[in-house]
Amino acid sequence: MTQGTYVDKEFQRDTTYIEDRITSDGTGEWPVEPGRYRLVVSRACPWANRTIIVRRLLGLEDVISMGVTGPTHDADSWTFDLDEGHLDPVLGIPRIKDAYLARFPDYSRGITVPALVDVPSGEVVTNNFPQITLDLSTQWREYQREGAPDLWPEDLREEMEAVNERVYTEINNGVYRCGFSGDQAAYEAAYDRLWTAMDWLEERLSTRRYLMGDHITEADVRLFTTLARFDAVYHGHFKVNRSKLSEMPVLWAYARDLFTTPGFGDTTDFTHIKSHYYEVHLDINPTGIVPAGPDYSNWLEPHGRERLGGSPFGNGTAPGAPSEGERVPAEHNPLLDESGMVRTR
- Cα–Cα distance, 46 to 227 (Å, whole number): 10
Question: Which 3 state secondary structure label does DSSP give 325?
Answer: helix
Contact 79, 69 (CB under 8 A): yes
Residue 119's φ and ψ, nearest 5 degrees, are -65, -45
Q: Is 191 a catalytic residue?
A: no
Catalytic annotation, pick one of 100, 143, 176, 277: 176
The C-alpha torsion from 319 through 312 and 204 to 296, rounded to 10°, is -50
Contact 223, 167 (CB under 8 A): yes
Residues pairing with 39 in the sheet = 66, 116
Active site residue 178: no
Please report which helix (H) or strand (E) contains residue 200, including its range.
helix 184-204
Active-site residue, from 45, 210, 234, 278: 45
| Residues 6 or more apart in contact with residue 72 via CB below 8 angstroms | 44, 275, 276, 279, 280
- Other beta carbons within 10 Å of 24: 16
Does 78 show up as a binding residue in the annotation? yes
CA atoms in the 13 A half-sphere facing the CB of 20: 18
Alpha helix ranges (H) inside 70-128: 97-103
Q: How far apart are alpha carbons 246 and 317 in whole angstroms?
A: 29
Q: For strand 4-7 and strand 123-126, is the pairing parallel, antiparallel, or unpaired? A: unpaired
User: Which residues contribute to the annotated binding site for glutathione?
Assistant: 78
Known binding-site residue numbers:
78
User: Which of the residues are catalytic?
Assistant: 45, 176
